[in-house]
Amino acid sequence: MSFIGISQRLVENTSYLEIREALSLEWGEFFKEYLEGYLPLPLNYKIDFCQYIPFLKAVILSGGNDLDILNPNPLSKMRDCYESEIIRACMQYHIPLLGICRGAQMIASYFHSCLEDIPKHIGEHKIIEMATKRQFCVNSFHNYGIRTLGEDLESLSIAEDKSVESFKHRNLSIYGIMWHIEREGGMNGDNTFYQWRDSFKEGV
């Protein structure tokens, strides 16, 4: 059986000291509707990612937490280190990779893109699909955005302020989406998710 591995956000419990890995329940509904035939495999920070590779068809870097370079803190740094390992392994073993919101920022940063504070990206806003010039609205829950991409990446859609909303690697099955496809209205938009899914869907 093959799985889709998905990274989890790190949360510090407030009632007593405990660091937890967490994944939104919305991801279960998303897998049920859009990734039929696969089970989500939550990735654990204490397990070397390479141990998962024989069981994986693809990987998702989920949202939550900021990047340490944007908002330094121990949890973000821990997540950055682990997800950098995931990106390197996906490149080495040609595993399709998709980053969502924070995950897209992580991929963009890994490939030397420019990220910065970005206003008016909390709530619904309009984006433009580059290939078709089609406009549509997406949900949005981030304070930091991608201003320019590294040379290995190319834009698939942009916001009205010209920040990058979705992108892909020029040669590998690596994609990023800045909005939350797992949340309400998240799949009303462009074709980036389907391009990523098509890279491994045959043979389901």
Given the residues 83, 129, 165, 182, select the one marked as catalytic. Answer: 182
State the average pLDDT for the chain. Answer: 93
Segments forming the whole domain that contains residue 159: 3-198
Mean pLDDT of the 174-198 span? 93
Alpha-helix residue ranges (DSSP H) falling in the chain = 26-34, 74-93, 102-110, 192-198
Q: What is the CATH number of the domain that holds 134?
A: 3.40.50.880
**What percent of the chain shows pLDDT beyond 90?**
80
**H or E stretch including 176?**
strand 174-177
Q: Is 65 left (phi over 0), alpha (psi -120 to 50) or beta?
A: left
| Residue 203 resides in a domain | no
Given the residues 121, 142, 169, 180, select the one marked as catalytic. Answer: 180
* pLDDT given at position 202: 60
Residue 121 annotated among the catalytic residues of the structure: no
| Residue 167 resides in a domain | yes
> Hey, which bits of 53-160 come out as E strands?
56-61, 97-100, 114-117, 125-129, 135-138, 144-148, 153-159
Residue 3 has pLDDT above 70, yes or no: yes
204: confidence class by pLDDT, cuts 50, 70, 90: very low
Mean pLDDT of the 24-33 span? 95
1: confidence class by pLDDT, cuts 50, 70, 90: low
| Residue 194 resides in a domain | yes
Check if the beta carbon of residue 146 is closer than 8 Å to that of residue 178.
yes
Residue 182 annotated among the catalytic residues of the structure: yes
| Residue 123 resides in a domain | yes
pLDDT digits (tens, 9 = 90+) for 53-112: 999 999 999 999 899 999 999 999 999 999 999 999 999 999 999 999 999 999 999 999
| Residue 204 resides in a domain | no
pLDDT digits (tens, 9 = 90+) for 143-160: 899 999 999 999 999 999
Tokens 């990058």, residue located? 164
Given the residues 90, 101, 129, 142, select the one marked as catalytic. Answer: 101
Tokens 């992580």, residue located? 106
Q: Structural domain tally of the chain?
A: 1
CA nearest 67: which of 21, 32, 29, 116? 116
Residue 81 annotated among the catalytic residues of the structure: no
Task: Extract the tokens encoding 80.
Answer: 């950055």
